[in-house]
Structure 1
């Protein structure tokens, strides 16, 4: 075959609507061009092939990094890399050795790819030495179980890694990855789980296609429900419609009816693997009195429909309590709050107390950072004194945190004897963390992706908060393990390895809720279903990794050995594919991290302040009017016209970008004793317009059905009117503020002149520093932009010409050299453009990040 000549393609200037971190060329966005998901569902097993296609439209070799999610319970059992008509089968290796081999291959000019696990549901893929004009395809093979509850199976495939709150103090030196947030002592690999985030409204960055083949077993496809617009095709296939975006979880709900308890045994060279399913018995006996602690996440990422849904969920749970129960309700962000009228302990669930709690919860507004560990510890301590009662903790959150391991390590020991349930509310929920936390507390995890599904989910939660139907479940012939529980409507699924003779049945024993003995004989049949072994290996690896997290570091060799023996990826291994041919020698390799979609239902992102101490959600997803802070944040004080800074920022692109709300990612200031908290009484400064979220019943025709599981965000009711939505960006700044800015401008007229002089001095000082430091880092530029934005609040009008010049020069120097970040910076500095003439900013290439060191040793 004659090789086609490679035509170099020069990089193009950034598009005006490009998102943060994207590259734009005549061929489109880089580097990921196509994402294809093909699943085959048979019974309660899903076999999935994920295909990613990378393209290099530059005139130099490219190394692409892609941070992406996968189902948290799925086993990654294989990988291939295809380029230039050659397909390379990947090998599973210990992670440190795999990374060394990958780096050596890239340095030698060979094409290579590596896939690594960062969290149970977050992975990183790197593909190096992609030649100019070349396409490289990497496929991953997965095997995973379907969740089966209340006679319905759920296939959930996540499509985007949402921004996560990162607490802790930044670590010095090189970072573990190329993400937007620095590694911290609480999240040592934060830079590996925080990819760049595209601005909402950005044109489709990749071609997304999803197809699912169903073994229907006579079930009518009209009963299947999907979170994305989809149609059925001949042969039992479901395909999503073209144009869907990778900004949420893809969910299929399938009506499955159980035929009874049973077990299968899959033999192999080392013995075999059991999979056992035990259906829940009929309820017997009334639940015992219980103590319930409800933890409601009110952090900034919960803004909009998620906050409304979380308040409703909390109220519904409180309403289901009886007079025999006791309860406490806590809301949290950077602080923990609770109703003052209910005291500091557990309150009797009387009608009056329940009404007070629901009334107080109704006023909760999203703000601050997602500090889950402290409220979790506080709730578990409240339950530590309970005696003779069932102890239950319910966490209602989106789970978007980066310090999952820290939370499990510190809260796990306190959860002994407490049943922990988690309610995940988001369209791109952190299911891996919430599932791990519920498993550690012997509870259940319920996921809610829309307000429409809340009633269905709450019905399940109400039935499962009560005592389980069966506790202390053990299986004859199985090794001793932590006793399991059987909940209403939820079959118990167990995996176990064994050798020797295969019995005809297994005996399952436990205690019912009225303390009677529970016994059931489960028949066993032989099977050649290899997926059972892979699912056991994945479940076993997750169990060992969680034990490693809480301090059992001696388990690392066993984790690695189990992963390699069964060829299932874990956090200590990696899939590696290396092409033996040398495709490039020497020269420069461009490194690009693939930006991800802004999650559906989240607020406009901004990059200001991302990654600095104090805890942040990378991407700045938060309620309008709330600002990010680093190490304390800032807050404008109208009383004296002053301000204090801690590296804080403000929401990009909003006209009303400042308010008296507390900083995001920092503790909110305490309100005066005689005045309510600003976040309790003031509405957000900006409400995003409703957007279609897709989804609904699977349609038999190409016409999309009405959304079933992801409605448009609903605005939180407020006693005061909202300001007008922000205006569209203006190509030429005007000296007159827009109508949306009028209230701010009016307030600024009363500001004393001292801040103006400080702003001018600040600008002159920083202009000098910028000129003297030609290699100022992007992070340092972000800090300067934050400080400049803070000071602008005090000087919206009446700035003398002598003070405008250094401001304009400072802005030009800050934007110079930021490359594709320039578009976002220009948008975020629109307040400055309101009274500073356009200076003709230029964009260039920012510095390339250094190659990172392994982070896990």
Structure 2
């Protein structure tokens, strides 16, 4: 007999407008212990089934973007089930099999460095199950302050790209404003990034409690939190911090800052050894004096996000930051302002001198900014990176101000990595309660700049003053690392140390496979051209903090992932997977799974699957996110995971946010959209125009599979050139039958390829539930290296929808003949 949503026990659900929303997540308990620079954190999520039938709960939540997650287990009554780390595909298969057999199972997956999914299957009616997650992290330290951050909610991500229509196999797709749960060719996992958001004015039953124990070995002072009410309990040199009783809604990052009463914090080294070798963490803050008059004239370019998610307090905070930036410039500096949402605008086509008239012009421009539309960050990034420098002698500093609420982070990072000029620095500022720290931190790393994240309600004067003081005075550049000692040299991350700004630490994680002691010499060029050197003697006792090894493993994974921002490669994915398995770490290619030994529910009965609804981040506008969408609560509170089978009741979803108003798409708008994605000027339709990458503009507009873009079929008539057309040949395919191979060949050969490139491309992917997944480029076997062609083929394959539902591993070799 089929159960209905009305048959509920007394549990966590809420009546709203004659509909019900279920809240299976009851409580989150966070316990953190901080020793020196390292935190060890335990997160307990308590799920409860409010229905009279079996429940599967799916929860999308954040953790710090550099957290080394190394443990997961579940508690059922007085029983503990330990999770184990597996390759992600294997873990998902174990979880699904256990769910079908009636066993209780937990699955922890990583979608982004700071977005995670917890699935918990076969919770009995009225039952509570606890999921425990543990991780290590390295505290931020800057300007004398330690900072501990615990994120509590994933802000809604804008999803660009062409929708992949899973329910229309063989049909077409369209360019349209993306809702939160639509996969696209640019973000093929978009449906796994956004949890359903509660309507305005509705409160979740989920609450959170945080306890932080700080043991610095010396007196701690100036403890404060700009985000939460806190209680402070001191016991000698031990300090316990708890959330205030009235501040338990999980809708903002917890930020805790403190200082230690000592001047001896300029250098810290931590070591550890086990069968994997000797590991170390090194924290160095060079103590340099600098004079305010040692200032180099700068060209400052401010890139500000004015999309809908910035509506209200976040945009006002960014505007205030911008006003302070403009008024804080040095007399010889030049500046410009660019803002982006659906489109990109700029204050001036050329840098403006820092005169009173130009400052007034800039302030008026800033004051007129309004938030609205989608976060098309790629257009803004391309515009600012392509700006011509009028004075090559000036150091260009780009300052990005955004909440980072996008799903195509890697596309942005790939653009920065490829196009950032050697003499340019890219800094990032996030203003808000729950910004995308992963994106902001990585942009600054790749941009050789500084990342700053402040709340929407924090004073900006000191932040801006400190920022200018730092970028005016880079204190250590061209940092080199040299090992002196027996055996192998250590493997260190970051592999290329960044330049340091004033009061900024150098943080290194290393692994010496043979664990032999030795000296590490750090050298660099200080301000004024002076040579700097500092040496560390390192040995590796068996005792030590085990978190050091985990943090090295996490740093290696981060470095490997940074190398794959343009797309997954076979070698890169294998290296990440091997590291994650060796160090028992969660990654995008590994997952934790825990399964009960016994059959706990009847596998032949229906079950309800609910995705946990979440609060909208504090100070974020519902109107800005949801645009014209009307709100109405739906029972169950969430979408159903794409992995789940048909034999279940799915709880209808809450409304999905629309990030830009729906409107008819005109032909020029379509061309402009594609031109922006492929970096082609849409305003120059002459046949034969070529950009820096060798594309003709029309070829590039036709470089998307016809079936995915039916609105462009008649554009072929515009092509008047009689030149040769590149040919694509499917050399070999394994894992598909001949009929599907023929369909795939026909699909790929319909793609209009750019001229001038040839060679082989070898891909490996999973075909599952009618979709291409886990698409890898075999970079060793591929002879064609052109990034734009590879990206075109990736997106084309991700948009392919075979007419049969198959599950297979496919090896595909393509040959492009120019």
Identify whether the pair has TM-score above 0.5, normalized to the shorter chain.
yes
Taking a change above 3 Å as real, the CA distance of residues 14 and 120 of structure 1, as seen in their structure-2 partners, is: closer
> Does structure 2 retain, via aligned residues, the 8 Å contact 1:174–1:853?
no
Q: Deviations over 1:805-837 (max 9, x none)?
A: xxxxxxxxxxxxxxxxxxxxxxxxxxxxxxxxx
- 2:586 corresponds to 1:569: yes
Partner of 1:524: 538
Q: Is the 8 A contact 2:12 2:205 kept in 1?
A: no
Q: Is the 8 A contact 2:11 2:51 kept in 1?
A: no
- Mapped partners of 2:220, 2:473: distance in 1: 35
Provide, for residues 771-793 of structure 1, a one-character-per-residue CA deviation record: whole Å limited to 9, x for no partner: xxxxxxxxxxxxxxxxxxxxxxx
Alignment partner of 1:239 is 2:253: no
CA-CA distance at 1:548 after TM superposition:
1.5
Counterpart contact for 2:477–2:526, Cα < 8 Å: yes
1:165-244 paired onto structure 2 within 5 Å? 165-173=158-166, 180-220=180-220, 223-225=223-225, 227-233=227-233, 235=235, 236-243=239-246, 244=248
Alpha-carbon separation, structure 2, partners of 1:557 and 1:168: 28
In structure 2, relative to structure 1, the CA distance for the partners of 1:272 and 1:186 (3 Å cut) is same
Task: Say whether the 8 Å CA contact 1:61–1:588 is kept in structure 2.
Answer: yes
Look up the SS of the partner of 1:248 in the other structure: coil
The answer for the alignment partner of 1:320 in structure 2 is 328
Q: Output the CA distance in 1 between the equivalents of 2:323 and 2:120.
A: 48
Mark the CA change 1:484 to 1:109 in structure 2 (over 3 Å): closer, same or farther. Answer: same
* Counterpart for residue 358 of structure 1: 363
Shift of 1:143: 0.4
Task: Determine the C-alpha separation between the residues in 1 that align with 2:201 and 2:270.
Answer: 49
Q: Distance in 2 between matches of 1:604 and 1:262?
A: 45
Listed as ranges, the matches of 1:596-675 within 5 Å are 596-604=614-622, 606=626, 628-630=660-662, 632=664
Q: CA deviation at 1:12?
A: 9.1
Deviation at 1:318, TM superposition (A): 2.0
Q: Report the counterpart of residue 418 of structure 2 in structure 1.
A: 413
- Does residue 449 in structure 1 map to residue 455 in structure 2? yes
| Equivalent residues of 1:106, 1:112 under 8 A apart | yes
Q: Which residue of 2 aligns with 1:145?
A: 138
Matched, 1:589 2:607: yes
1:370 aligns with 2:368: no
CA gap of 1:442–1:13, structure 2 versus 1, over 3 A, is closer
Size of the alignment, in residue pairs?
616
Give the whole-Å Cα distance in 2 for the aligned partners of 1:21 and 1:496: 52
Q: For residues 378 and 253 of structure 1, do their structure 2 counterparts lie closer, same or farther at Cα, with a shift above 3 Å needed?
A: same
In the alignment, which residue of structure 1 is the partner of 2:98? 105
Structure 2 counterpart of 1:496 = 510
* Residue in 2 that maps onto 1:560: 577
**Could you tell me the TM-score, scaled by structure 1's length?**
0.68
1:68-124 superposed Cα distances (whole Å, 9 cap, x missing partner): 000111110100011142211100011111111111111111110100011111100
In structure 2, which of residues 38, 49, 53 is the aligned counterpart of residue 60 of structure 1?
53
Report if aligned partners of 2:341, 2:375 keep a CA contact under 8 Å in 1.
Answer: yes
Counterpart of 2:786 in structure 1 is none
The corresponding residue for 1:161 is: 154
Deviation string, structure 1 residues 738-763 (Cα, Å, up to 9, x no partner): xxxxxxxxxxxxxxxxxxxxxxxxxx
Is 1:251 equivalent to 2:255 in the alignment? Answer: yes
The verdict on how the C-alpha distance between 1:354 and 1:325 changes in structure 2, with shifts beyond 3 A counting, is same
Secondary structure of the corresponding residue to residue 434 of structure 1: helix
Alpha-carbon deviation of 1:359? 2.6
Partner residue, 1:398: 403
**Residue 468 (structure 1) aligned with residue 467 (structure 2):** no
Tell me the residue number matched to 1:22: 21
Whether contact under 8 Å (1:69, 1:121) holds in the other structure is yes
Question: 2 CA distance for matches of 1:851 and 1:64?
Answer: 21
| 1:627-655 deviation line (CA, Å, top 9, x unaligned) | 84235489xxxxxxxxxxx9xxxxxxxxx
Which residue does 2:111 correspond to in 1?
A: 118
Q: Is the 8 A contact 1:63 1:590 kept in 2?
A: yes
- CA distance in structure 2 between the partners assigned to 1:512 and 1:356 by the alignment: 37
Structure 2 unmatched runs, 5+: 1-6, 169-178, 484-489, 631-637, 639-653, 670-767, 776-818
Q: 1:203 to 1:552 in 2, by over 3 A?
A: closer
The alignment yields a C-alpha RMSD, in angstroms, of 3.0
Task: From the superposition, tell whether residues 498 and 632 of structure 1 become closer, same or farther in structure 2 (CA, over 3 Å).
Answer: farther
Q: 251, 261, 265: which is aligned to 2:267? A: 261
- Secondary structure of the 1:209 match is strand
Tell me the SS of whatever aligns to 2:133.
Answer: strand
Q: Map of 1:769-808 to 2, 5 A cutoff?
A: none
Give the whole-Å Cα distance in 2 for the aligned partners of 1:311 and 1:401.
21
User: Matches of 2:590 and 2:12 in 1, distance apart?
Assistant: 39
1:35 and 2:43 matched: no
Aligned mates of 1:253, 1:224 — CA distance in 2: 5
Say if 2:166 and 2:771, in contact at 8 Å, map to a contact too.
Answer: no
In structure 2, the CA distance between the partners of 1:447 and 1:633, relative to structure 1 (3 Å rule), is: farther
Instruction: Give distance in 1, aligned partners of 2:289 and 2:312.
Output: 38
1:233 Cα shift?
3.2
Please identify, of 458-467 and 487-496, the stretch whose mean Cα deviation from structure 2 is larger: 458-467
CA contact (8 A) 1:21 1:594 kept: no
**8 Å Cα contact 1:21/1:593 also seen in 2:** no
Alignment pair present for 1:128 and 2:121: yes
Pairing partner for 1:74 from 67, 71, 76: 67
Aligned residue in 1 for 2:522: 508
* Partner SS state of residue 296, structure 2: coil
Q: CA offset at residue 58 of structure 1?
A: 1.0
Q: What is residue 37 of structure 2 aligned with on the other side?
A: 44
The structural deviation recorded for 1:11 is 8.1
Could you tell which deviates more after superposition, 239-248 or 317-326?
Answer: 317-326
TM-score scaled by length of structure 2: 0.71
Task: Describe the shift of the 1:609–1:186 C-alpha distance in structure 2 as closer, same or farther (beyond 3 A).
Answer: farther
Residue 436 in structure 1 maps to residue 442 in structure 2:
yes
In the aligned structure 1, how far is the partner of 2:40 from the partner of 2:772?
31
Find the counterpart in structure 2 of residue 91 from structure 1: 84
Q: Is the 8 A contact 2:477 2:524 kept in 1?
A: yes
Residue 502 (structure 1) shift: 4.2
Residue of structure 2 in register with 1:762 after alignment = none
Contact 1:283–1:488 (Cα < 8 Å) also in 2:
no
- Cα distance, 1:619 vs structure 2: 6.5
* Distance change in 2, residues 1:105/1:18 (3 Å): farther
Change (3 A) 1:552 1:416: farther
Q: Is the Cα–Cα contact under 8 Å of residues 620 and 628 in structure 1 kept in the other structure?
A: no
Secondary structure of 1:421 counterpart? strand
The reply on whether 1:275 has 2:243 as its aligned counterpart is no
Instruction: Decide whether aligned partners of structure 1 residues 61 and 391 sit closer, same or farther in structure 2, where only a CA change above 3 A counts.
Output: same
User: Where do 5+ consecutive residues of structure 1 fail to align?
Assistant: 1-7, 24-29, 612-617, 635-645, 647-849
State the SS of the aligned residue for 1:223: strand
Decide whether aligned partners of structure 1 residues 61 and 555 sit closer, same or farther in structure 2, where only a CA change above 3 A counts.
Answer: same
- Whether 1:578 and 2:595 are equivalent positions in the alignment is yes
Question: What SS does structure 1 have at the residue aligned with 2:147?
Answer: strand
Deviations 1:360-399 (A, max 9, x none): 2122121221111111111111156762332211101111
Q: Is the 8 A contact 1:20 1:595 kept in 2?
A: no
Q: Equivalents in 1 of 2:375, 2:576: separation in Å?
A: 31
Query: How far apart are residue 489 of structure 1 and its match?
Result: 1.0
Query: What SS class does the counterpart of residue 198 from structure 1 fall into?
Result: coil
Query: SS where residue 380 of structure 2 aligns?
Result: helix
CA distance in 2, matches of 1:18, 1:78: 41
